[in-house]
Amino acid sequence: MAETEQIILPRAEFIDDIESYLKGKDLNKALDDLGATRQKYKMLEQQLLQKKAQLMSKLPEIQKALDIVNTFIAKQGEELILDYELGESIYAKTKVRAGPAPKAQAARSSQSGAGSP
């Protein structure tokens, strides 16, 4: 199951008139507050950039899996010989028939998948 994270952005405040914004406030406290908000945005930016890099690194593998699925769809009913990786630098060949899952197997898969996480 995919892990979801809720990202909470600090509310951005546009300061149109600095004099009126600072009126009645301690200058150092106001600067500290603005600096803390900026720091939160910078930290969030770094987290998002890291997440983007992780997702981009997975893109080639996802594209490869999609290509395999499209090949199975295009060659439905045909027997295919596939090479697959068993472990690092260890490969095996297998024959598979491209097409939909048999009805009994599809029913078992949908029943067993209903309660699993």
Q: Is 8 domain-assigned?
A: no
pLDDT at 117 over 50: no
Residue range 12-37: average pLDDT?
A: 90
Note the pLDDT tens digit of each residue in 57-87.
999 999 999 998 898 888 888 888 888 888 8
Residue 44 lies in a domain: yes
Entry pTM: 0.54
Task: Decide if 7 is inside a domain.
Answer: no
Could you tell me if residue 1 is inside a domain?
A: no
Give the chain's domain count. Answer: 1
**Alpha-carbon radius of gyration of the chain:** 27
Question: Quick check: is 14 in a domain?
Answer: no
- Token pair for 59: 């893109």
Span 24-41, mean pLDDT?
92
Q: Containing domain of residue 40, as a range?
A: 24-110
Residue 59 inside a domain? The answer is yes
Pair 26, 32: CB distance under 8 Å: no
Mean pLDDT is lowest, of 15-24, 39-48, 56-65, 75-84, for 75-84
In a domain, 94, yes or no: yes
